[in-house]
Amino acid sequence: MNYNKPLSAAVSEGGAARCDARVRRTRLSLKKAILLLAAQRDVAGLSVSELSRSVHINRATFYAHAESPVTLLAQVLSDELNALHERNIALMKRDGFLTQANARRTMEEIVDHVLAHEAIYANHATSSLSLRIVLVDHVEQSVLRLFQEGYCVPPLPGPDACRLFSGFIAHGAIGAVEAWLKLPPPRDRQLLIAVVEAVYPHWYAPEKR
């Protein structure tokens, strides 16, 4: 501790740390609760009051974290996906471009994420919250970032073309995941990855540059 600081400042810092710890605990409790409830039911019909009671907070505290149970669930899932993306970006920085191995690892991790939350995605397949949107938006924004940062160069220049290419790749990949989930078990995971790779454009994620 810096003893040259006024006592009020030191107390304020301690209070802020305690407040931050409470915020983190509440956020973690909300994350666990929404994932548990979403695996059991469509959270589009879940009230803020019901979710708040499950984690022993009031409505005002809930609204400090999210607008609704639906937006909370979407954010929790998006945060998981974004963490995967950041790890893969770090590997691409090492390689300098998007390789076939990079793209395969990314797709495998997305499949792992979907399987870990399969009950949630199944419960919301036809919900007013279509979690397909969460997945498609994540992949679309991730691919767009690859274009913007030069890890992959599409054949046509310009921001509009990049958005079209990223949308095409995202909807195709997640469409394949959706179709695969509808297959009777046991499902062939390697077949899914192979199909997605087979429909990638030839210039996307080459084996080597």
Fold annotation for 7-63: Arc Repressor Mutant, subunit A (1.10.10)
Q: Are 124 and 131 in contact (CB under 8 A)?
A: yes
- pTM for the complete prediction? 0.84
Q: Are 138 and 85 in contact (CB under 8 A)?
A: yes
Domain boundaries, the chain: 7-63, 69-199
CATH for 69-199, options being 2.60.40, 1.10.10, 1.10.3470, 1.10.357: 1.10.357
Q: What is the pLDDT of residue 125?
A: 76
Provide block-wise average pLDDT over 10 residues at a time, the chain (209 residues): 40 63 93 96 94 96 95 95 94 89 95 94 75 91 96 96 98 94 93 96 84
Instruction: Give the position of tokens 């006592």.
Output: 7
| Amino acid letter for position 193 | I
Q: What is the pLDDT of residue 6?
A: 45
